[in-house]
Amino acid sequence: MIVSGSTSQAFAAALADATGRDLAAVEYDRFPDGELQATLTDFAADDAVVVGSTVSSDAHVELLQLQDAVREAGANEVTTVLPYMGYARQDAAFSDGEPVSARAVARAVSTGTDRVLTVNPHETAVCDFFTVPAEPVDAAGRLADPLPADLADPLFLSPDEGAIDLAATTRDAYGRGSTDYFEKERDYDTGAVTVEPSDAAVADRDVVLVDDIVATGSTMSEAIAVLTDRGAARVFVTCVHPMLAADARTKLERAGTTAIFGTDTIERPVSAVSAAPAVADRL
Ligand code: R5P
């Protein structure tokens, strides 16, 4: 059975559809002191797929509770799916005294499961932090689905070199177009992002920006500004994880994006396509 955390109900439903597995009923409650309690009401299976994007500290706790509950209800085999793994970008200690937060949460998640699947973690090496077998799942190809069929001489562009593979995967799934990347620098004191244009000609072309995550929207809005300045036709923002924190959505609209498309690893109004089929293939 598939057991969903409160943050991933649409993803879990899509996963149930894609795999033909039943979806367990879960009640999500909160005590007066703020503590969470997620309760299974009809779980009956030998194996469980616990699904939860850890978009907040509460979501982390809820996931641990569900892992515990399925074991208690008799599951012998537990697979945990993290459509979005929170804290994955904190994958190193940058100064004395800092935790490696990705490792800390990975260890905690590992205690309640036999296996982990996580969709497009920021770095695949984060999977090594789990103490059970853990694999990344690439859902970038799904980002081609919501794009219009009439893209003009499309360029699939990643805002930094680290995401060029995602741009290539999306281009391959779309079926035509070229790929390139910008060089990005972030000032970690101010959060300001600058991108250096590549040599790619963008005038009158439709550009599809592709990244693993849009968080504050600074990276994408800076890229849109450069592309607009250089005469790009339409600029589409695509990402696997549409975190869209704070005013990110407004920033992107103000920067002049044509449309924003993400997957349902983080459930937002822009979640135009499901990453669940990519996970289903690996279950
Ligand atoms: C960083 O390397 C990531 O791939 C994203 O580009 C970054 O995390 C996006 O963050 P923001 O939306 O805050 O600029």
**12-36 pLDDT, tens digit each:** 999 999 999 999 999 999 999 999 9
pLDDT confidence band for 198 (50 / 70 / 90)? confident
Mean pLDDT, residues 48-57 taken together = 98
Pocket test for ligand 1, best of 87, 211, 268 (most atoms within 8 A of CB): 211
pLDDT in tens, 225-282: 999 999 999 999 999 999 999 999 999 999 999 999 999 999 999 999 999 999 999 9
Residues 127 and 36 in one domain: yes
Residues 29 and 125 in one domain: yes
> At residue 184, does pLDDT exceed 90?
no
- Number of folded domains that form the chain: 2
For residue 246, the CA-to-ligand 1 centroid distance in Å is: 14
280 located within any domain: no
Q: Are 133 and 106 in contact (CB under 8 A)?
A: no
pLDDT score for 197: 65
Residues 156 and 81 in one domain: no
pLDDT score for 110: 98
Q: What is the pTM of this model?
A: 0.95
276 located within any domain: no
What atom of ligand 1 comes closest to residue 89's alpha carbon?
8
222 located within any domain: yes
Residues 120 and 154 in one domain: no
Residues 113 and 227 in one domain: no
Residues 10 and 129 in one domain: yes
Give the end of a domain, one of 112, 139, 166: 139
What angle do helix axes 218-229 and 248-255 make, rounded to 10 degrees?
0
User: Closest Cα to residue 200, out of 208, 188, 191?
Assistant: 208
For residue 125, the CA-to-ligand 1 centroid distance in Å is: 17
Range of the domain at 241: 141-264
Provide the 10 A C-beta neighbour count for residue 203: 9
Mean pLDDT, residues 116-132 taken together = 97
Residues 96 and 148 in one domain: no
Distance CA 114, CA 25 (A): 22
pLDDT score for 200: 80
Residues 7 and 63 in one domain: yes
Backbone φ, ψ for residue 204 (5° rounding) = 65, 10
Q: What is the phi-psi region of residue 103: left when phi exceeds 0, alpha when psi lies from -120 to 50, beta otherwise? A: alpha
Instruction: Give the E-state strand segments of 41-182 in sequence order.
Output: 47-51, 77-82, 115-119, 134-137, 155-158, 178-181
Residues 95 and 171 in one domain: no
Ligand 1 pocket, Cβ-based, cut-off 6 angstroms? 159-160, 162-163, 193, 211-219
To the question of whether residue 42 is assigned a binding role by annotation, the answer is: no
To the question of whether residue 142 is assigned a binding role by annotation, the answer is: no
Distance CA 124, CA 118 (A): 9
The residue nearest atom 10 of ligand 1, judged by CA position, is 215
Mean pLDDT, residues 112-119 taken together = 98
269 located within any domain: no
The catalytic residue positions are: 184
pLDDT score for 190: 75
- For position 246, which CATH number holds? 3.40.50.2020
User: Residue ranges of the alpha helices (H) in 55-206?
Assistant: 57-72, 101-110, 164-174
What atom of ligand 1 comes closest to residue 219's alpha carbon?
14
